[in-house]
Structure 1
Amino acid sequence: MVPVLQLIARDVPALVFPAGTDLLQVLWCPLIHSEHDQHSPVPVLRWRSAADLADRPLLDEVPRPYEFDDEYVPRPCGIHPTETVEYPNWDMPAELSERVGKWSEEMEESCGISYYDAFTTRQSKIGGYPGWTQPPNWPHCACGSRMEHLLTISASESCGRWLPVEERTRPGCGWEISDNPELQHDSHDMDMGDCGGIYVFVCRTCPTWPTVHRYDS
């Protein structure tokens, strides 16, 4: 297993943690698993208490897994959570989706930014909407409830409105990355397909908070 994401409650106040926990750790085996019909790594979530770990020794570096696929081993990096409001890209009624599509085309022609650049977030995130690149595939829990989107580990950080200004080739462009070689790598440096990623869903109706994932590429 390799560590993929660690979040502390104070850094993400909008994220609801189970009682008695304030630390979320996401890990996965960096190999493709086909038994879940997703052909991807299988995320494992650990909700923990930071106080319980305070006296434990820290590793100087993350151990390298014995067997792995390069595109699923993240490069060590930090995150800077930013709270925002986003809107869905696929999860809309057909009539509204058609109207948004036409408006997006007009918006892109007039100012170079589409609806999907300005109002959706394709990068890694907590909450919000999955950034579906394929038709939506919302999971349902064994209890019958539709599960909610908990987090996304995105295949690419270098697109959309959250691409840092200094990494863009021109103002307003969220797709064209600067040719500066120091800015060519995504933060985590994982490919995971094209522009999708791994979406983790949770059911908070059940006391154990079961999770499942969807792989979108």
Structure 2
Amino acid sequence: MWDDPRASNRARPSEEIDVPRLTTNPRPVAFADIDPRIVGLARDAARLHPRPGSPSVLESSVGGPMLWPADEPWPLCPGDHAFDQDGPDPLPLIAGVQVYLRDAPSLPHPPGVDLLQMMWCPTLGIEADDHTADGHLQVFWRASSDVKAVLADPPAPPPERVWTEIVPARCVVNPEQITEYPTTDWLPAELVEAVQRCEALGEDPAYTYNMLAVAQGIKVGGWAGSASFWGPAGPDYFRCECGAALDALIQLDDEWDGTETWRPIEDAGKTSYADRRLSQLAADLDIGRGYALQTYYCTADWTHPIARYMQ
């Protein structure tokens, strides 16, 4: 049984590592063999593969500095936090994920922009049961060429009001373009039956269709991961408050788990505690008590709030 490096030590890795190009293992099943119609539902996504580093504002990053205009106010959370100990006052949001479209061309985006910036509240308001992000998680789109002067010293929340588990370590990213397929939450009923027939064969009980269809880790675009504890899931469940369909935007998750099917090929020989911490848990995020946090955008209006679900 593998040990979770996070379980006994919350310290940040201080070492910066030289990361080679990271590549995902080929899937151990051919999705066309399950049902050729599944292949027609394939989507491109980008795994960001964060690793400890010192990104600049001109680079995609996790937990890194934002290309934020000096003349634009830094965003605040609304202050209605999930727990009384978090206090009632608004707090400056913390830097989460910055993605330039050149690194993730498959990322859904509004016209005229080339940069996505995602920030969130430093308290557990990000984990509230309400699926709307309601200001605790905010996404900003911009054309990077419009930023003439960068905010040099963004405001920070007081340390005593920060839940360190949801503050990402500063990481460079190593984007990899991959192909994903819808989980059974999103498949038509006849294709769900095809998946169930295939899995009933039990050729490799270590993996399920859903585990292989959607990547783990911090990724953008593609399909959403499988639902863990709600239902009925799927396109009829994931709706914006306006009634329009929601679709996957950014996923926050550990790079890979104990099954190792999503561990990059280049990390295969890294078995020590320190090596695993610098790859598997590089971003050092623990949002949702071990679940992944999936964020969604409204497919009808880019100005509508982002939605969030634990998966």
TM over 0.5: yes
Residue number in structure 1 paired with 2:144 = 50
- Equivalent-residue separation in structure 1 for 2:171 and 2:282 (angstroms): 6
Residue number in structure 2 paired with 1:24 = 116
- Equivalent-residue separation in structure 2 for 1:199 and 1:181 (angstroms): 28
For this pair of structures, how many residues does the alignment match? 204
Sequence identity (%): 26
Is 1:133–1:195's contact at 8 Å kept on the other side of the alignment? no
State the AA in 1 paired with 2:255.
E
For the residue of structure 1 that corresponds to 2:180, the secondary structure is: coil
* Selected match of 2:263 from 133, 142, 163: 163
Is 1:139–1:146's contact at 8 Å kept on the other side of the alignment? yes
Is 1:26–1:45's contact at 8 Å kept on the other side of the alignment? yes
Is 1:20–1:49's contact at 8 Å kept on the other side of the alignment? yes
Give me the CA root mean square deviation: 3.1
Residue number in structure 2 paired with 1:10 = 102
- Is 1:151 aligned to 2:250, yes or no? yes
Match runs of 1:189-204 below 5 Å: 189-204=284-299
For the residue of structure 2 that corresponds to 1:144, the secondary structure is: coil
* Selected match of 1:107 from 203, 217, 220: 203
Is 2:181–2:223's contact at 8 Å kept on the other side of the alignment? yes
**Gap regions ≥5 residues in structure 2:** 1-92
- Equivalent-residue separation in structure 2 for 1:134 and 1:35 (angstroms): 15
State the AA in 1 paired with 2:274.
P
Cα distance change on mapping 1:212 and 1:180 into 2, 3 Å: same
Give the deviation of 1:88 after TM superposition.
Answer: 2.1
Residue number in structure 1 paired with 2:51 = none
State the AA in 2 paired with 1:163.
R
- Equivalent-residue separation in structure 1 for 2:252 and 2:186 (angstroms): 19
Is 1:149–1:201's contact at 8 Å kept on the other side of the alignment? yes
Give the deviation of 1:104 after TM superposition.
Answer: 3.5
For the residue of structure 1 that corresponds to 2:191, the secondary structure is: helix
Residue number in structure 1 paired with 2:37 = none
State the AA in 1 paired with 2:218.
S
Cα distance change on mapping 1:102 and 1:11 into 2, 3 Å: same
Match runs of 1:13-92 below 5 Å: 13-33=105-125, 37-38=130-131, 42-56=136-150, 58=152, 65-66=157-158, 67-89=161-183, 90-92=185-187
CA distances 1:22-47 after superposition (whole Å, capped 9, x unpaired): 11100001211276625999310111
Cα distance change on mapping 1:119 and 1:141 into 2, 3 Å: closer
State the AA in 2 paired with 1:181.
A
Is 2:132–2:308's contact at 8 Å kept on the other side of the alignment? no
Match runs of 1:107-186 below 5 Å: 107-109=203-205, 113-131=207-225, 132-135=227-230, 136=233, 138-154=237-253, 156-159=254-257, 161-168=261-268, 178-185=271-278, 186=281
Residue number in structure 1 paired with 2:192 = 97
Cα distance change on mapping 1:142 and 1:38 into 2, 3 Å: closer
TM-score, normalised via structure 2 length: 0.56
Residue number in structure 2 paired with 1:214 = 308
Higher RCO (Cα < 8 Å, 6 or more apart): 2
For the residue of structure 2 that corresponds to 1:108, the secondary structure is: coil
Give the deviation of 1:86 after TM superposition.
Answer: 1.0
Residue number in structure 2 paired with 1:173 = none
**Gap regions ≥5 residues in structure 1:** 170-176
